Amino acid sequence: MRLENFLIMRQELLLTLVALIVLIADLAIKDDKKRIVIPISIVLFFLVTVAGFIPASEGILFGGMYKSTALTILMKNILNVGVLIVFIQSVTWLKRDDLQNKISEYFILIVSTLIGMNFMISSGDFLMFYLGLETATIPIAALAAYEKFKAKSAEAGIKLILSSALSSGILLYGLSMIYGTTGSIYFADVAASFGNTPLHVLAFIFFFAGMAFKISLVPFHLWTADVYEGAPINVTSYLSVISKGAAVFIFTIILYTVFSQIAYLWRELLVIISLLTMTVGNLFAIRQQNLKRFLAFSSIAQAGFILLGILDGSVLGMTSTVYFVMIYIFSNLGAFGVVAAVSNMTNKENMDDYNGFYRTNPKLSLVMMLSLFSLAGIPPVAGFFGKFFLFTAAAHQGYYMLVLVAVLNATISLYYYLLLIKAMFINTSDNPIARINSDFSTKLGLIICVVGIFVIGFASPLYELIRSLSFGF
């Protein structure tokens, strides 16, 4: 391989380097000083994130298995920024005494999943796609069980690995049918010879089901709430934004390139699944008391909204999807960041615990409120723009009824977000959560989220940039 080839894969290679350095550093550092791993990892990862923004050439490697385009680089950068925020937000949690010996594991595992996601996004054939997907999934199960001394965390790990294994099996079965009917696993070849014979359709359905597990679409969402609740909260936030975001990215790319022949079919499918996902996610979210479960169902509902963008199939659709995922990362991390800050200090995770929260912690409450408004799609924060463009994309294909149901669903979601806002701002409590003195890292993580929530919406150049890189069929 020549140097240029390395440069094409620089993001994956740099991440591998980070994982190795952290691993070696962990060996070299004495047991009582393990915490130094935290700043080392974050600084290294920060450098990788910055390096991602240096312009790089596009290219194809391994005979078409690996493909790097400006769009994939952008997607990877979005994920990198998200992971950086997750890292910054986890500092307080990682400093806990009972985790002292496993700090480096956390970073290595997350970085490995990120490597998998990057390969997955850059894949040019189904083999690379599958390898990336598995690399991205298996370490997450370990992460979910990170606090293995807690029964719930261990349970979450097992649930995640079992349901992932099942979904991978289904996906693989679909891929085998694709290979069987087209004789190739390369995206370009498959796309050229893909038709609408029953076997093709079946293959697609299996592929779709496998992906639906990863994005947690209804009716493949059942693992989500339990895993989100059991996993440590910073892992949950990672799972709900980065893991989901990466899956949405590659799902969109594959639908638009490989399966564009049967767009008429998956459009109808996406309409139904999207309706189900939004409605079920929202209706279940209303009843949740535990905030992790609450945000889990809210993120299921958000996935339903994302499908509105995907089903358009034009440049507008892909732009809106990527743009929304980016906004979603910032908004959801803002909400999770507050829950994490509170949970790490007080171990309180229920909605009732937040009664009177504004009087004791006005700043955290405001961050929470802005994040929730962004998730609900209320202007002037970014979520409004994200949702609006998703709806525009769906209306572009003439699905006005779907848009109507979706917007009504957004109103339902506003209801339960307002329940939390009500708890914080309006309800009073004899025993509110005491004032939390957040440390620097928590503050930094939340500030980045708030800035993102405010800026991305108004930043039309960003939208136009994504649009210039997106494609449709």
Report CA torsion sign: 111, 116, 121, 122.
Answer: positive
d(CA 159, CA 155): 6
Q: Dihedral of CA 407/390/458/440: which sign?
A: positive
Question: Least distance to another protein from the beta carbon of 404, Å?
Answer: 5
CB of 303 to another protein, least distance (A): 20
CB of 331 to another protein, least distance (A): 16
Coil/strand/helix, residue 125 = strand
Specify whether the CB–CB gap between 134 and 92 falls below 8 A: no
- CB 428 to another protein: min, Å: 11
Say which residue the tokens 């799972």 belong to.
239
Measured distance CA(166)–CA(206) in Å, rounded: 12
CB of 77 closer than 8 Å to CB of 53:
yes
Beta carbon nearer to another protein, 187 or 324: 324
Shortest Cβ distance from residue 426 to another protein (Å)? 4
- What are the φ/ψ torsions at residue 123 (nearest 5 degrees)? -70, 145
Query: Closest distance between another protein and the C-beta of residue 378, in Å?
Result: 5
Nearer to another protein, 407 or 444 (CB): 407
C-alpha separations of 472 from 44, 46, 333 in Å: 36, 32, 29
Give phi and psi for 310, each to the nearest 5. Answer: -60, -40
At position 426, the amino acid (one-letter code) is I
Nearer to another protein, 179 or 384 (CB): 384
Q: Which is nearer to another protein, 56 or 378 (CB)?
A: 378
Q: Tell me which residue has tokens 């939208």.
A: 463
In this complex, which beta carbon is closest to another protein, that of residue 192 or of residue 286? Answer: 286
State how far the alpha carbon of 370 is from the alpha carbons of 155, 197, 308, 373, in Å.
33, 48, 24, 5
Shortest Cβ distance from residue 424 to another protein (Å)? 10
Give the whole-angstrom CA distance, residue 376 versus residue 413.
6
Select 151 or 408, whichever has its Cβ closest to another protein. Answer: 408
Task: By CB under 8 A, name the binding residues for another protein.
Answer: 316, 319, 373, 378-380, 384, 388-389, 391-392, 395-396, 398, 400, 403-404, 407-408, 410-411, 414-415, 418, 421-422, 425-426, 460, 463-464, 467
State which residue, 294 or 389, has the beta carbon closest to another protein.
389
Of the pair 183, 380, the CB lying nearest another protein is at: 380
Q: Smallest distance from the beta carbon of 85 to another protein, in angstroms?
A: 25
Give the residue with the Cβ less far from another protein, 95 or 267: 267
Q: How far apart are CA 221 and CA 214, in angstroms?
A: 9
| Tokens encoding 371 | 């994040």
If one counts every other C-beta atom within 10 angstroms of the C-beta of residue 241, the result is 25
Q: Which helix (H) or strand (E) holds 146?
A: none
In sign, the C-alpha dihedral spanning 209, 213, 214, 217 is: positive
Helices (H) and strands (E) in the chain, counts: 21, 2
Handedness of CA 439, 440, 441, 445 (dihedral sign): positive
Kindly state the smallest distance separating residue 227's Cβ from another protein, in Å: 31
Least separation, in Å, of the C-beta of 115 and another protein? Answer: 33
Compare residues 213 and 399 and give the one whose CB is closer to another protein.
399
